[in-house]
Chain A
């Protein structure tokens, strides 16, 4: 109780003393404010980058496996990746029917065409897909409908278009129900997709036309194979298992025995996500560390000011000691003073950091994410620096000889 009373007394004395030297206290705190603020703001930017990248990868579809044809190898001459023609629509059907823990399987083909409507024309990618594709890629139709099973079976000449295609071909006109020409054949637009923006790879995901895969294979490209099979696995934890099963199944179906090379590739978007997460975490840590250095400099600022303060108040210390203050009394008083600088500076720093992060988000039109961890860590660090850098000056004050201190002018 005795020590608690002294603590609260010291606390009050610290506040009085800080208030008496308003300007100096503020300047000292500024180091901590900037330090804490910078940590919070920069980490929020780093986290923002991470969440941007993560969400654009997720927009490709989460828990996705992509099967693509391997490169051909005829007489030792290797073709380009995807040049094999061995991957068929039936492979997709087989995967869907024989492997568990799969939500959707969607084979697709694609090619570039000059697309014409009235006087306008536009070169874009036309992709032949199944109805499941909509769920896999998290697409949504803003107007009209997506490709149906019926369209697939009838090899209908229908198309669903992205917003970039719509604005280039139709300007402000409603595209649904209009006929466009792809590869000189008429296709009826049955749906307009919602905008998905750019992908993480910088592709415009709205510059797309989707047609039924059967139509694309037979009426447009005249091929029997597929160029990729997208598989959505029901849960993250089955990814590796499903990947292995798909490989085994396809090897059997393609009669690949022994150590014969796969004529297909199975890619896993989760590993891409992990890599990206790792690198953005590194970026965030780097930004945080740089800001942390300014916090350290702020701490040295506290020490500097506390040293000056001790010298300036030598006489006060002498008086207090003459009146009966012990080593711990003086030590506590100065330590609390430097800690209060850390606490108040830290709190203001948190407010400033959050504000700056919001300003960056608003002005820079850039997503920032404020999380609890950097706030707590930088605050604790601020109080810690206050305490740590206060120890030396406080010890110096507490060890002063009362006679010398009283004589000090």
Chain B
């Protein structure tokens, strides 16, 4: 199972620091993060609130830029890219799953799933076909025309996962994806993540619940802007 040396590091972080200036004082939310995340890894980012894990998540998701250090995504330096370049990178390489789903409330589940493809420049017909495929993959083919407020929390999160997958990104970033869900839905969602992992996708999951983190193959603990513990590094599924 451990074939780390053959694996390509999708994410290469080196000396990442994020400094906020608050009232003339410097505050390092991230204080020198250096690690690699390999293709096919299922990594859980853990840590108490204020530890910097959200900041790290934002930087990994190309929503934010580090103050210092280098971040290579698929071997390409993204630390200094412009807003628009970052937007294009997010669109092509990263799929987001949020705690509060973040679906657009006025359009149907299908259109929500198709949204990233709008910005990828995919034509309407193909967009809806692909969206339907992924919606069926998460078991919501019969809910395509429902608006998000007509769906349960678990269903909404599955729509969000379908949306994260629709542009076939390298990495899935999930920020507390089960934070707002009941036990049954949590189980369903985690099963989907495990299936994705089995199919060889790189997943980065932020959570503060140990039992959720336990589903992942690698656990990274962030504390005071540093990685203080890193277990199961390089454990990836064999892609058959």
> Which A residues have a C-beta under 8 Å from some C-beta of B?
2, 5-6, 9, 16-17, 20, 315-316, 318-329, 402-403, 406
Contacts and interface: CB of A to CB of B under 8 A. Distances in A.
Nearest to B85: A326
Given A16-B106, A315-B102, A326 B88 contact: yes
B87 A326 contact: yes
Size bin of chain B's contact surface: 20 to 34
Nearest to A8: B124
B91 A16 contact: no
A323 B58 contact: no
Nearest to B98: A406
B87 A325 contact: yes
B123 A5 contact: yes
Given A323-B91, A326-B83, 8 more contacts: A5-B123, A6-B121, A9-B124, A319-B115, A321-B87, A322-B63, A323-B96, A327-B83
A323 B121 contact: no
Interface of B: 58, 61, 63-64, 83-84, 87-88, 90-92, 96, 98, 102-104, 106-107, 115-116, 118-121, 123-124, 163, 167
A18 to B, nearest CB: 11
A326 B119 contact: yes
A106 B53 CA distance: 103
Given A16-B107, A403-B63, A322 B96 contact: yes
Given A9-B118, A403-B58, A403-B64, A319 B87 contact: no
B84 A327 contact: yes
Contacts of A329: 119
Given A323-B96, A323-B119, A324-B88, A316 B104 contact: yes
A403 B18 CA distance: 15
16 contacts: A2-B121, A5-B123, A17-B106, A20-B106, A319-B115, A322-B61, A322-B96, A322-B102, A323-B90, A323-B96, A323-B119, A326-B84, A326-B87, A326-B88, A328-B84, A403-B58
Contacts of B92: 324
A338 to B, nearest CB: 18
Contacts of B84: 326-328
A16 B118 CA distance: 15
A313 to B, nearest CB: 9
Most B Cβ at <10 Å: residue of A6, A322, A326, A328: A322
Contacts of B120: 324
B87 A324 contact: yes
A315 B106 CA distance: 13
A325 B61 CA distance: 14
A362 B16 CA distance: 77
A9 B118 CA distance: 8
B63 to A, nearest CB: 5
B168 to A, nearest CB: 13
Contacts of A328: 84
Contacts of A325: 87, 119
A62 to B, nearest CB: 62
A324 B83 contact: no
Contacts of B91: 323-324
A402 B58 CA distance: 10
A323 B63 contact: no
A84 B118 CA distance: 89
Closest 10 CB pairs of A and B: A324-B91, A324-B119, A326-B84, A323-B116, A2-B121, A326-B87, A319-B102, A20-B106, A324-B90, A325-B119
Chain B CB count within 10 A is highest, among A316, A319, A328, for A319
A20 B115 CA distance: 18
A20 B116 CA distance: 22
A328 B119 CA distance: 11
Contacts of A324: 87-88, 90-92, 116, 119-120, 167
A85 B16 CA distance: 110
B63 A6 contact: no
A6 B87 contact: no
A6 B61 CA distance: 24
B78 to A, nearest CB: 14
Contacts of B98: 406
Contacts of B61: 322
B148 to A, nearest CB: 11
Contacts of B124: 9
A320 B61 CA distance: 14
Contacts of A326: 83-84, 87-88, 119
A20 B120 CA distance: 25
